[in-house]
Amino acid sequence: MNSKDLVFSRGRLRYRGQYVAATCGWGGVTDNKREGDGATPRGMHYIVGLYYRPDRISCPSPWAKPILPGDLWCDDPQHKAYNSLCRAPLVASSEALRRSDPQYDLIIITNWNWPEAVPGLGSAIFMHQWRRPGAPTAGCIAMARQSLVWLATSLMPETRLIVR
């Protein structure tokens, strides 16, 4: 582990010597992640993407990409696009990335079960804004908007995320 790693443990995230409050999935942290279990996968993951809503937030980083109308994340284990960014229309089960609430105004993508997704091992393990302070997620790691923006401005692709 080095000082540039993101480390999530017991309701907080550490990065570059700073701590921020954060939450994980309602199913806790698990060694056996499955689609729909509400758990956050334990282990070492890498940051592989950064997306933002240009109509709501300024670009936080040179490598950030805009979330466009029609952007989806496929969560259907039977579909060939499982656990990847897709465009509408999509007949498979998916999650809209342009939401009416602010949760996905800025999302940091991890490499959990990506790029070669194994059906059923879980999809869309993001870092995003929480619904409210301390509220659990469906498996992602969530935090206050200010903390998320701070991370997005300093993270680089391939930064390690360690979930304990």
What's the mean pLDDT in 101-116? Answer: 97
Provide the whole-model pTM: 0.95
At the fourth CATH level, which superfamily is domain 6-163? L,D-transpeptidase catalytic domain-like (2.40.440.10)
The pLDDT tens digits for 25-66 are 999 999 999 999 999 999 999 999 999 999 999 999 999 999
- Counting every residue, how long is the chain? 164
End-to-end CA gap in the chain: 12
pLDDT 10s digits, 72-89: 999 999 999 999 999 999
DSSP the chain: --TT-EEEETTEEEETTEEEEEE-BTT-EESS--TTS-PEEPEEEEEEEEEE-TTTS---STT-EEPPTTEEEE--TTSTTTTSEEES--SS-EEESS-SSSTTSEEEEE-TT-SSPPTTS----EEEE-SSTT--BSSSEEE-HHHHHHHHHH--TT-EEEE-
Average pLDDT over residues 89-117: 97
Return the bridge partners of 19, or none. 14
Q: Where are the domains of the chain?
A: 6-163
4 pLDDT band (50/70/90 cuts)? confident
Mean pLDDT score of the chain, rounded to an integer?
Answer: 96
The predicted structure's pLDDT at residue 158: 83
